[in-house]
Structure 1
Amino acid sequence: MKFNNIQSCHLGPEISPEQFIPEHFFLFLLKGSMVAYDGYRHYNMKPGDYCLARKNHLVRYTKYKENGDFEKVIIAFDEPFLKKFLERHSYQAEPTDNEDSFLFINEDKLIKNYIQYLEPYYNGTEQLDSHFVDIKREELLMILLKNNPDLKDILFNFNVPHKIDLELFMNQNYKFNISLERFAFMTGRSVSTFKREFNAIFNTTPGKWLLHKRLQEAYFLLDKEHKKPNEIYLDLGFEDLSHFSFVFKKEFGISPSEVWRLKT
């Protein structure tokens, strides 16, 4: 059981803070709301909603506090845990064409009772013994599979991403702030193959292309959409405003704030 600055209950391995979901996880929203975007669609979550977030997907989150609070329950279903689960339970994954990054779960009394059981732990009044963490994760997994048997086709598919159209993928996902290794993995390539094929398509390196593409989009948003610099830099994959301003001015000879002021 782990806690962070935003009050929560977390069972299982830590989830990466980057915009890439490395393992499936169950999410139950207690307080506040959240909007997630995976490059294709938005997912809106409000208190009381629960869903399964899928591994190997790119997602950007926007969290909104409720009276200063944002509380959630996260239970990770990592691959080693799922494989151990299959040693005790017989499930066979089948191909699925569902590509949603978040799978919302139908309302279920058993899930509600499960969340109520965890209340002392996410309130911080009790600490769950580490020996019982996997037992509680297995209990939830069995409830979810009873609620929606088709989840087996998602959870127990251990295949790595297959080779996909690199040009299309990059043009759809260049705004996500993930590593080159993640981009390569998600397009079904080794890093060396990714770099080689990327150069053949775009005639430049991935790093240079990503920076130029993000800056071009930034200029458009400032100039045509009249967005403020502090409204766009995070969504374009830049980690801080000062770095964004520096590389923008180096590219265009004018600062982002100056472009915005010219249009206001």
Structure 2
Amino acid sequence: MKFNNLQSCHLGPEISPEQFIPEHFFLFLLKGSMVSYDGYKHYSMKPGDYCIARKNHLVRYTKYKDEGEFEKVIIAFDEAFLKRFLERHPYQAEPTNNTDSFLFIHEDKLIHNFVQSLEPYYNGTEQLDDVFVDIKREELLMILLKNNPDLKNIFFNFNVPHKIDLELFMNHHFKFNISLERFAFMTGRSLSTFKREFKAVFNTSPGKWLMKKRLDEAYFLLDKEHKKPTEIYIDLGFEDLSHFSFVFKKEFGVSPSEVGKTKV
């Protein structure tokens, strides 16, 4: 399906660029491709694919441009909007065992038509006119629920994360660059409880453990996988290359670029 002049647009509250998803959102890829990773699974998207990204999940995105462009439609379903929707359209969430971070939706002509319908309201600044935002969000939500009724168990479950296995979670998610407050929330703990139980499990503080774990992984990738420092530092949770190089050399006595040269 051709989407004419529709470019990237966004409806609803802004979604934080950090790797924690604070609200559910609908994602429709118009141009380019994307691979995402949540610590357990990889998810791939190509033009025309669409899905629901679930709140309270950690996800890292890798975007690939097509002819220099990456275009998408993002429609956020924040909790306040969903609760207002429930006042008019009563749904009852039921327990679900689905833990995927991305829920892909089967091909649906109504969704394609909906995305195409956004074009007349698009004002060219990646935002639709405010007066239409909730109307279009409600329209999409009704389409999604009509053809995918089990989504009610995702959208209308307003519970916070429950307490989970700390060691298992951290070993899967240590590469994600989020705050300790986020790690605590994701594991169903207050920050003080998280720090106390972390010390009991790992016999060190969260900050020290995360740094050591990331640096050990970096050394492995440089030494065994022959990766370049520029290829790995962001994926390991470091914000800039100079800081990564500094702490790496402090830990191992050599710079990241020297690791592969130490062997003959």
Structure 2 stretches lacking a partner, 5+ long: 1-6
TM-score, with length taken from structure 2: 0.94
**Corresponding letter in the other structure for 2:244:** F
- Quick one: structure 1 residues 157 and 259, their matched pair in 2 at CA, closer, same or farther if it must change by over 3 Å? same
Partner of 1:225: 225
Residue 48 of structure 2 is aligned to residue 48 of structure 1? yes
For residue 193 of structure 1, report the CA deviation from its aligned partner: 0.3
Structure 1 CA distance, aligned partners of 2:127 and 2:53?
25
Deviation at 1:120, TM superposition (A): 4.2
Equivalent residue number for residue 174 of structure 1? 174
Unaligned ranges ≥5, structure 1: 1-6
* Aligned positions of 1:83-232 closer than 5 A: 83-121=83-121, 124=124, 128-232=128-232
Which residue in 1 is equivalent to 2:4?
none
Classify the secondary structure of the residue corresponding to 1:162: coil
Task: Write the mapping of 1:15-34 to structure 2, written as runs, cut at 5 A.
Answer: 15-34=15-34
Asked if 2 retains the 8 angstrom alpha-carbon contact of 1:223 and 1:263, the reply is no
SS in 1 for 2:118: helix
Task: Please tell me the residue identity of whatever aligns with 1:221.
Answer: L
Q: Distance in 2 between matches of 1:256 and 1:117?
A: 51
Is contact 1:73–1:122 with CA below 8 Å preserved after alignment? no
Give how far 1:128 is off: 3.5
**Secondary structure of the corresponding residue to residue 52 of structure 1:** strand
Name the structure 1 match of 2:260: 260
Structure 2 distance, partners of 1:41, 1:236, is 17
SS class of match (1:10): strand
Which 4+ residue blocks in structure 1 deviate beyond 6 angstroms?
Answer: none
Is the 8 Å Cα contact of residues 106 and 147 (structure 1) preserved in structure 2? Answer: no
Q: What amino acid does structure 2 have at the position aligned with 1:13?
A: P
Displacement after TM superposition at 1:131 (Å):
2.0
Q: Deviations over 1:78-117 (max 9, x none)?
A: 0000000000001000000000000011111111111111
CA contact under 8 A between 2:111 and 2:140: conserved in structure 1? Answer: yes
1:260 CA drift (Å): 2.6
Aligned to 1:11: 11
User: Cα RMSD (Å) of the superposition?
Assistant: 1.5
Q: Deviations over 1:154-174 (max 9, x none)?
A: 010000000011111111110
Tell me the distance in 2 between the aligned counterparts of 1:172 and 1:32: 28
Partner-residue secondary structure (3-state), 2:43: strand
Equivalent residue number for residue 73 of structure 1: 73
CA deviation map 1:131-157 (0-9, x unaligned): 221111000000000110000000100
1:28 and 1:122 mapped to 2: Cα distance?
15
Change in 2 beyond 3 A, CA 1:219/1:89: same
CA contact 1:13–1:78 (8 Å) conserved in 2: yes
AA paired with 1:165? D
Number of residue equivalences: 258
Q: CA deviation at 1:123?
A: 7.4
Alignment-mate amino acid for residue 149 of structure 2: P
Give the counterpart letter for 1:182 in structure 2: R
Structure 1 residues 120 and 250: alpha-carbon distance in aligned structure 2, compared to 1, 3 A threshold = farther
**CA shift at 1:127, angstroms?**
6.8
1:225-258 deviations in whole A, cap 9, x for unaligned?
Answer: 1111111111111111111001000111100000
- The one-letter amino acid paired with 2:186 is M
Percentage identity across paired residues of the two chains? 85
State the alpha-carbon separation in 2 of the partners of residues 206 and 125 from structure 1. 41
